[in-house]
Amino acid sequence: MQIKTKTFEITPKQLRNLLTFDYYRRMKITFIILVVLLVINIIFAVIQNRFDWWLIYLVGLIAYFVSLPLLFQVQKRSSALNFQNRYCEIDENFFALFYEDGSIIKLNYSHFFKVTKKADYYFLYMTKAQFYYLPVAAFESEKDIHRFDLFLQSKQLIKLW
């Protein structure tokens, strides 16, 4: 299997938007639970005609979780290489990134512990906070995407089903 992608890049703003959207998607259940608890506490406070301090704590907790993505500072936490034009070469042994400035990163698949695939992109995680972004649009064909998915599944990095 030899796959070469088209040249691609991502801006800090685009990456921040992707990370923010992913954060809200993962926290959806937590937000629902917190809002339901808040509504229940408000109803009980109104019925019993009393002020409950837990309401303030709950509102503060919700505000904290909602505002957390505003603290994401993608440019400070990411290498400048992540925002350059690049392309990938993928084979059975290595995942190689070739950057516009001539830099090359060649990684064995054992360095990745997880890969997440969304509709438009892959995140190839090396640690919980360090990942490589690979857009689906960078692949030459649907066949290459399918081959890459099957290869990742064989390496037990992604679950397709």
For residues 70 and 82, membership in a common domain is answered with no
The pTM (predicted TM-score) of the whole model is 0.77
Sorted by sequence, the CB contacts under 8 Å of residue 91 that are 6+ apart come out as: 1, 2, 3
Q: How far apart are CA 46 and CA 37, in angstroms?
A: 14
Q: Establish if 159 belongs to a structural domain.
A: no
| Coil/strand/helix, residue 151 | helix
For residues 83 and 135, membership in a common domain is answered with yes
Q: Establish if 160 belongs to a structural domain.
A: no
For residues 43 and 19, membership in a common domain is answered with yes
State how far Cα 121 lies from the chain centre.
Answer: 9
Q: Establish if 161 belongs to a structural domain.
A: no
Q: How far apart are CA 158 and CA 150, in angstroms?
A: 9
For residues 63 and 82, membership in a common domain is answered with no
Last residue of a domain, one of 48, 74, 100: 74
By residue range, what is the domain housing residue 32?
Answer: 15-74
Tens-digit pLDDT profile for the chain (161 aa)?
A: 789 999 999 988 888 888 889 899 989 999 999 999 889 888 888 888 887 787 888 889 899 999 988 877 765 666 677 788 999 999 988 999 999 988 899 999 888 989 988 889 998 988 887 888 999 999 999 999 999 998 889 888 887 66
Q: Establish if 134 belongs to a structural domain.
A: yes
Instruction: Name the domain count of the chain.
Output: 2
Round to the nearest angstrom and report the end-to-end CA distance of the chain.
22
Q: What is the CATH number of the domain that holds 104?
A: 2.30.29.30
For residues 141 and 83, membership in a common domain is answered with yes
Residue 102, token pair as written in the block: 């001539």
